[in-house]
Structure 1
Amino acid sequence: MTTKSVSPPPDELNFVGKNGFTEIGQEFHRYFQRLCQLKPHEKVLDVGCGIGRMAIPLTGYLNEHAVYEGFDVVKKGIDWCQQNITPHYPNFHFRHADIINKNYNPYGKVPARQYRFPYPGAFFDFVFLTSVFTHMLPADQGRYAAEISRVLKPGGRCLITFFLLNGTQQELEAQGKNRMTFPFDHGICKTHRRGAPEAAVAYREDYIRKLYRQNGLVIAEPIHYGSWSGRDDFLSYQDIVVAVKGR
């Protein structure tokens, strides 16, 4: 294996946000180790891997015995990762998922609510999703939650970011402190934009807890709430939920 330091993608290809690309990747790399006890030899799945923001820092941590798998709906991001990461780190694999997405892949073939992750059951030690469930509506999100549980080994961990709606968030909302607003109420979730609901989606925390229980995922308390709601005490921007698949 020939290893090298992988540079960030050029700005014209970067669709996940140019500001803080490297810093956010490094931030979550720390969370993977500190909150999820990620080991260098483990099998990792990056759902919604984008253009390598999380993969790049992992190239310097996962060893030759590890497996990294990532998939995304944006083909140009997958193409870049295949051309710039895999040749130097052949245990890093990237796959285009031709899933219908109004913003990123409008001519896709498969609805997210029908998509089966292309991996065997009980294969991964660690699965993570950063800023994925914040853009998914309930039927699609429910399917992904079931698939996450299916591909995780018993005792495997997952880290997922959310905008969570709960009592504290509502109190801060009433004070005008929420940094993201979700004015359109759909019951178990609220959305940021009327005509583009998947632009940003927030979920009731009690619903997310129920979804985890239904899929055999045990939340590792406490939830790590983010700054988006206006809290003074926070870890990241979005809320971070770490869970373990039951044995």
Structure 2
Amino acid sequence: MLNSQSSVPEIIIPDELLPPKDLRLSVGGSFKAIGTEFFRYFIELGGLQPDEAVLDVGCGVGRMAVPLTQYLSDRGSYEGFDIVEPGITWCQSVISPRYPNFQFQRADLYNQYYNPTGQEQANTYRFPYSDHSFDFVFLTSVFTHILPEGIENYLREIFRVLKPGGRALITAFLLNKESLSCLETGMSTLELTEIFENYRLADKTFPESAVAYEECFFITLAEQVGLKVNFPVYYGSWCGREDFLSVQDILLMSKG
């Protein structure tokens, strides 16, 4: 559980930083509630400081970026990339002019649903940033939609762009004794019926819709690229467990 005496500053999100309703609905869930929830995790779990350089992998329509505009100082910076063009365009036209230290890029990555004409693949994609660029990297609802080869590549890229001592906060669906028991007893609303070595899918014809990984396999991949997994793992409610922090499982990692 998080500290009940939180040191996270209270923030107020300006109305002009709320995307149009259609863009908010396109990412699911509450724009404000989920954004401010993870804002708290970035600080309390990840130790994010106002003057640090931040990378948001899969930034969507700026749900995580908007709260950070009220926290990062002029000495801090934010970079985000995503594959969905309308969301990136909105962020570039609304957030960046008001906060020049917040920048957004579109990545032309293939995704069966979001970008079926994408020219690049997750398993070979190189993040468009130099080595050792960021103090803090986060990925929310990204690794739940990427297959194993892409996961390994993204972990390697996270390690590359992190500064020594940098941290990463990553969400995932992790398969372990507890979550598998919940799945087998029908407690989860997420059906992962397609079983492969080290991972499961909700739909074999649409593999990116939902992917869950064996926890040991996922942690081993991270360690093999040089990342240190900082325990405990903060398990989520996705599988139907009663004791949880968020919806997805949250892992913290660090570099050197």
Please, what TM-score do these two structures have when normalized by structure 2?
0.92
Question: In the TM superposition, what whole-angstrom CA distance separates every residue of 1:189-215 from its partner, at most 9, and x where no partner exists?
Answer: 100112111100000001011011101
Aligned to 2:27: 16
Aligned to 2:178: 168
Aligned to 2:36: 26
- C-alpha distance in structure 2 between counterparts of 1:178 and 1:216, whole Å: 33
Asked if the contact 2:79–2:102 (Cα under 8 Å) also holds between the matched residues in 1, the reply is yes
Question: In the TM superposition, what whole-angstrom CA distance separates every residue of 1:191-246 from its partner, at most 9, and x where no partner exists?
Answer: 01121111000000010110111011111110000011221110000000011112
- Give the counterpart of 1:244 among 233, 238, 254: 254
Residue type at the aligned position of 2:127: F
Aligned to 1:206: 216
The size of the alignment, in residue pairs, is 242
Residue type at the aligned position of 1:132: V
- Give the counterpart of 1:185 among 192, 195, 213: 195
- C-alpha distance in structure 1 between counterparts of 2:235 and 2:224, whole Å: 22
- C-alpha distance in structure 2 between counterparts of 1:203 and 1:22, whole Å: 29
Residue type at the aligned position of 1:40: P
**What is the 5 A alignment of 1:109-148?**
109-148=119-158
Residue type at the aligned position of 1:138: P
2:94 paired with 1:108: no
Unaligned runs of 5+ in 2: 1-12
- C-alpha distance in structure 2 between counterparts of 1:58 and 1:244, whole Å: 21
Residue type at the aligned position of 2:40: R
Aligned structure 1 segments of 4 or more residues deviating by more than 3 angstroms: none
Q: How far did residue 174 of structure 1 move?
A: 2.6
- Give the counterpart of 1:90 among 100, 115, 119: 100
Residue type at the aligned position of 1:37: G
Asked if the contact 2:175–2:215 (Cα under 8 Å) also holds between the matched residues in 1, the reply is yes
Residue type at the aligned position of 2:112: K
- C-alpha distance in structure 2 between counterparts of 1:30 and 1:13, whole Å: 23
How large is the RMSD of aligned CA atoms in angstroms?
A: 1.1
- C-alpha distance in structure 2 between counterparts of 1:228 and 1:101, whole Å: 23
- Give the counterpart of 2:51 among 41, 45, 53: 41
Unaligned runs of 5+ in 1: none
Asked if the contact 2:54–2:135 (Cα under 8 Å) also holds between the matched residues in 1, the reply is yes
Asked if the contact 2:135–2:163 (Cα under 8 Å) also holds between the matched residues in 1, the reply is yes
Residue type at the aligned position of 1:194: K
- Give the counterpart of 2:89 among 62, 79, 98: 79
